[in-house]
Structure 1
């Protein structure tokens, strides 16, 4: 009994830990919450012109691009956080410049794919010719928001790495408000703006992302943030440094590529269940994204705090804090699940859906997300811990590897072999993928192979 109590106590941190974690996590959580809420508002507007599936399908390209960009940004952020911990401003700038170069390459490549192969890409996800046409209309405008979008993301990661998360929260909130304003104006022709329908939604996204990037650049240089400098300070990297950083970043990029593409294949599998099922899935996803704010806040606090400790060379402190975050995840995941389960019907009703079947399925999908998000809470703690120490290859196995080995085969077998027709049941059974990750990932965390001071590799 005493041994069990001691083990349990090792997952409970002191007040100072929770104070610091909250200071870092809350601004990011608020930003994610507002982002999700604005996403729902956008979807509600698009739903009123019957374009939910068209915009949702077109968004799969952006999601895949941002997912890969996320891998590049996190690779740079690993080093940013550790150099912040060691107090090395020179290499903070070089880490940021490294990230800027990588995410820009990703964005330009995806812009080219969307520009030249838009109809083919949309046809991959859905066969309805009317939906494809509307999706391409949206995509042809929205693709120009890809570059400012990934650059804004890199700025956000930089602030997270140096534990100044209020800045991206404020700028992100302003950009989101602009997005809603121009959506309402350009979709429906309000505020004296032209009525552009689905094209208006795309223009609103472009205006908001460009404005957000502009604010980031102006503020970072005006306030002399430690990660920005002149061209030479940020982009002049020695080959040895660039090679080592890229070797640890490449598995993260490949992970996000295969995970992102695999995630879109879920759309292909679910798409076989029909348009009603897809509408339910998209609505359920938008609602579930509201609650991602909790996960993202804890995830980023974990990466930042562990990265700083590893950069200082205090490996045992990083191990201890990792356990504290696991304990926090347990409590928060239970609370989040209860809230989702009890509010599912109300949240779905906000979309004013006319199809009763879509409403019923959407409610069930949201409830399944309560299970998914609880499991995902533990997985993001595992991932962010491994990422903080540069254990990127094992992270790629856990994330993309298990998706391709477990989740995707299961989804297609359930739909194509067993002929299941309920999106909710298929989605529930696919969560076996999350369970496998938790079981395998916790063993890796306990082993401690991820505890590495990466600054010693470069400095």
Structure 2
């Protein structure tokens, strides 16, 4: 076999792994976000007040989601390098550490949401009618937090060893159960009680319990890569814990900070009226669904980056990093165009006022542009840079853009210059374009490559 044939075979193997993993993770994310979209659309058809109330509660869920995603990402950064060395015992130890960190965070958030629901939602808006509607939902949905944390850390452990299809199956079951129960409990169909937002919360809680049961069964009876033993959850390794905290703290802190920042953004939008809250909820939910390929690509890039560093294939990694940057840009462009084409179709499902619909259209058009930047910078910074072990840089970069540029500019636009909601929304999303310049310089200097298994 000639050298060119060997190289060609390696290329095919790399791209096959990258694109297949991206597609499966994207499908999983699509189903996960479709659960929120189902709640969003069904409640939007029930009443705009219910939609606004649940939208505020979802900011608390979003904070949890970002924090748990940070824990999972920290697990992947470490575990994928050990997977590159075929050290599955260390992978099990990392899963145990991440699992209990997620449980602790979930329990703290449950306590805050269950015992102080009015205080939590009062941080996001002054509208008492919206708060009252949101409390009905929050008092139930908070019981999903621990199940969500446990399930997603176990899935992150599997993702670090390139097992991703189970995530799609788990999320698929959640979607089916959630939509069916929403239909029964939100509107009171087939003799069920008409519970509105409370019905949506009960549906989500039921589906979260089921998905946790599925992932436990898979780890016990099906998985053959990790051969996970549940008793290992109760034997924490001190050295792994220290390494996890050292490497993972910037990742977890960065994602948690992002969740807090999104809450701050919602608080700014929340002061602009119920229409702005609803329009922001609609546009944000839609863009989450349509950017699943981008997020799937970032996850796949992080796993493969860690694996290649662990296996010592640094030069091959550099070669593919150069090529994939063009792929990332293309993903952003395609997503932006798709969002523009489907915006009217999606908004047709919502029972909202003309004012809210017009504002939602304007918000979505802004996202069509900023998503191009998301496609590039997210993959580069969280895929290559953070996946390569340079976790602190991403934390510092996100902190500077969010707390020193985006939020101050948005607050000034909203409360000092009294700009329109569209201008405020543009300020809130501007970092997606600005980060591209930092990402371009950082990734091509290669100083983000760190070996963490020594």
TM-score bin (small chain) = over 0.9
Q: State the superposition RMSD in angstroms.
A: 1.7
Task: Return closer, same or farther for 1:417/1:144 CA change in 2, 3 Å cut-off.
Answer: same
Shift of residue 241, structure 1, vs aligned partner: 2.7
Contact kept? 1:281, 1:362, Cα under 8 Å: yes
Structure 1 distance, partners of 2:60, 2:398, is 20
Shift of residue 119, structure 1, vs aligned partner: 0.6
Aligned to 1:373: 371
Give the one of 33, 45, 62 matched to 1:36: 33
Which segment is superposed worse, 232-241 or 356-365?
A: 232-241
Contact kept? 1:68, 1:257, Cα under 8 Å: yes
Shift of residue 406, structure 1, vs aligned partner: 1.0
Aligned to 1:24: 21
Task: Return closer, same or farther for 1:25/1:154 CA change in 2, 3 Å cut-off.
Answer: same
Output one character per residue of 1:43-66: Cα deviation in whole Å (capped at 9) or x when no partner. 121123321100010111111122
Aligned to 2:42: 45
Structure 2 distance, partners of 1:301, 1:251, is 20
Q: How does 1:335-350 map to 2 (within 5 A)?
A: 335-350=334-349
Contact kept? 1:49, 1:197, Cα under 8 Å: yes
Shift of residue 325, structure 1, vs aligned partner: 2.4
Contact kept? 1:95, 1:234, Cα under 8 Å: no
Unaligned 5+ runs, structure 2: 1-9
Shift of residue 228, structure 1, vs aligned partner: 5.2
Structure 1 distance, partners of 2:235, 2:404, is 40
Task: Return closer, same or farther for 1:173/1:134 CA change in 2, 3 Å cut-off.
Answer: same
Aligned to 1:4: none
Q: How does 1:243-254 map to 2 (within 5 A)?
A: 243-254=242-253
SS in structure 2 of the partner of residue 188 of structure 1: coil
Contact kept? 1:96, 1:227, Cα under 8 Å: no
Q: What TM-score do the two structures reach when normalised by structure 1?
A: 0.92
Unaligned 5+ runs, structure 1: 1-12
Shift of residue 280, structure 1, vs aligned partner: 1.0
Aligned to 2:321: 322
Structure 1 distance, partners of 2:231, 2:173, is 31
Structure 2 distance, partners of 1:414, 1:273, is 11
Is residue 2:453 matched to residue 1:436?
Answer: no
SS in structure 1 of the partner of residue 451 of structure 2: coil
Task: Return closer, same or farther for 1:17/1:424 CA change in 2, 3 Å cut-off.
Answer: farther
Shift of residue 359, structure 1, vs aligned partner: 0.9
SS in structure 2 of the partner of residue 227 of structure 1: coil
Output one character per residue of 1:295-353: Cα deviation in whole Å (capped at 9) or x when no partner. 11111110111111011122222222222321111112112211112222222122242
Structure 2 distance, partners of 1:90, 1:35, is 30
Structure 2 distance, partners of 1:112, 1:409, is 30
Which segment is superposed worse, 234-243 or 62-71?
A: 234-243
Aligned to 2:270: 271
Q: How does 1:355-434 map to 2 (within 5 A)?
A: 355-381=353-379, 382-421=381-420, 423-434=421-432
Aligned to 1:3: none
SS in structure 1 of the partner of residue 226 of structure 2: coil
Aligned to 1:448: 446
Q: How does 1:291-302 map to 2 (within 5 A)?
A: 291-302=290-301
Contact kept? 1:389, 1:454, Cα under 8 Å: no
Which segment is superposed worse, 320-329 or 402-411?
A: 320-329
